[in-house]
């Protein structure tokens, strides 16, 4: 599985404005709803916040992978977002989170969901990938960098 299988350029956000965990989720959920209206921002935010209540999805090194399952998804929907200033997302390393990869999977897609989580985790462990995304000038450049780096692995 490659990121290009589930990440769309119109769901890449280069400049998150939110400065708090819940607000980040709300801003990303609004973007997802604007591109995939059947999901609805409220439903997306609800499942992502419920997952965060279990444990933070911030994996450290400035990366978080908020994820959940929605019956309305139909297929895996992903959003990649960047916070230039960083957000306290309760990462285990105590550092701010700058890069967010949201995964909304259909209710009955455990295999796809897990493969996507594994792919994102593997790719974002690479410091070079993270640096390219952090320094990309805009969403288009972020998407291009993701596709290029994804092709290497």
Task: Sketch out the chain's domains with CATH numbers.
Answer: 3-152 (3.40.930.10)
Q: What is the pLDDT of residue 75?
A: 86
Average pLDDT of the segment spanning 61-74? 90
Q: What is the pLDDT of residue 153?
A: 61
Whether 113 and 105 have beta carbons less than 8 Å apart is answered as yes
Average pLDDT of the segment spanning 60-70? 94
Phi, psi of 58 (to 5 degrees): -75, 120
Segment 10-46, tens digit of pLDDT:
999 999 999 999 999 999 999 999 999 999 999 999 9
* C-alpha–C-alpha distance, residues 43 and 49, integer Å: 10
Catalytic residue among 67, 92, 135, 140: 67
- Beta strands 77-87 and 97-106, pairing class: antiparallel
Going by C-alpha positions, the residue among 2, 14, 11 that lies closest to residue 132 is: 14
> Higher confidence at residue 57 or residue 1?
57
- Beta strands 63-64 and 97-106, pairing class: parallel
* C-alpha–C-alpha distance, residues 69 and 50, integer Å: 11
Active site residue 113: no
pTM (predicted TM-score) = 0.94
């Amino acid at each position: 599985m490659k990121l290009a299988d589930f990440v769309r350029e119109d769901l890449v956000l280069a400049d998150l404005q939110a400065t708090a965990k819940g607000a980040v989720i709300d801003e990303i959920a609004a973007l997802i709803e604007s591109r995939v209206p059947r999901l609805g921002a409220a439903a997306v935010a609800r499942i992502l916040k419920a997952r965060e209540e279990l444990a933070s999805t911030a994996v450290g090194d400035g990366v978080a992978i908020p994820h959940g399952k929605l019956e309305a998804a139909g297929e895996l929907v992903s959003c990649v977002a960047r916070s230039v200033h960083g957000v306290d997302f309760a990462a285990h390393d105590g550092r701010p989170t700058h890069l967010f990869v949201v995964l909304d999977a259909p209710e009955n897609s455990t295999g796809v969901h897990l493969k996507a989580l594994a792919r994102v985790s593997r790719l974002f462990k690479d410091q070079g990938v993270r640096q390219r995304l952090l320094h990309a000038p805009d969403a288009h450049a972020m998407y291009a960098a993701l596709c290029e780096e994804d092709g290497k692995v």
